[in-house]
Chains A and B, each alone.
Chain A
Amino acid sequence: MSDFDQELDARGLNCPLPILRAKKALNDLNGGEVLKILSTDPGSVKDFDAFAQQTGNELLSSTEEGSEFHFLMRKNS
């Protein structure tokens, strides 16, 4: 079993699109489910942290993989 329920490919997109797409994707998930987000926007690292703090969704992990940034976010219930 994978550690996420849905994946969002936001690579190549710039601010604020990764956040907006993530918000949309989270809307389709049930509380407690996990969204994985792929991004190439360096600004998204701080932005997803800020997004999580303000929306109550939990940022489980934020990692840099080469030139990409991967995030796991659990939707608040």
Chain B
Amino acid sequence: MSDTKKMTVIATKGTLDWAYPPYILSSTAAALGYDVVIFYTFYGLQLLRKNLNLKVSPLGNPGMPMPMGMDKWFPVLGTTIPGMEAMMTAMMKNTIKSKGVASIEDLRSLCLEADVKMIGCQMTIDLFDMKREDFIDEIELGGAATYFEHAGQSDINLYM
């Protein structure tokens, strides 16, 4: 086996906030010299779309800090109001920008530049009738056995 360390990540979530851990850790691992493989399954496939349209929702997310102390006076039911998700997504995107945090688009590009291998779950694509052409060209498709081909010889395997 080569000396190069290897990491795999299983990305399962398709929201703006949860898009960060896989792309931050993968880009950083690649910069540290790791070979990195990300396996995208179920909602994680959203992170591979050509046109990323990721959202964040306060619904069912009591840990999410709300601006202006809204979480203190806003009843839980308020998070179900139509338009709330769009508003929180817009606010989150502004915060991300103002704090110098990279966009998901940028982090994904950096991962691709660093030769992070991206594998989309074929079963998920079939299950949800997704189209291959909606995803970026750089990906491969595969299944559970394909994942283990990488995970079995990897130093770090993370599930997100």
Contacts and interface: CB of A to CB of B under 8 A. Distances in A.
B100 A13 contact: yes
Contacts of A51: 31-32
Contacts of A40: 100
A23 B31 contact: yes
A72 B139 CA distance: 37
Contact of A54 (B24, B33, B101, B102): B33
A20 B31 contact: yes
Interface residues of B, number: 11
> Which of A13, A20, A51, A54 has its CB near the most chain B CB atoms (within 10 A)?
A20
Contacts of A14: 99-102
Interface in B1-59: 24, 27-28, 31-33
Contact of B28 (A13, A20, A41): A20
A45 interface: no
Interface residues of A, number: 14
Contacts, number: 31
B97 to A, nearest CB: 11
Contacts of A41: 100
Contact of B27 (A12, A13, A16, A55): A16
A19 interface: yes
A65 B155 CA distance: 38
Interface string A34-59: 00000011000000000100110000
Interface string A1-45: 000000000001111110110010000000000000000110000
Interface string B95-110: 0000111100000001
B100 A55 contact: no
A16 B24 contact: yes
Contacts of B27: 16, 20
Contacts of B102: 13-14, 16-17
Given A40-B100, A55-B33, 17 more contacts: A12-B100, A13-B100, A13-B102, A15-B24, A15-B101, A16-B24, A16-B27, A16-B28, A16-B31, A16-B102, A17-B100, A19-B28, A20-B28, A23-B31, A41-B100, A54-B32, A55-B32
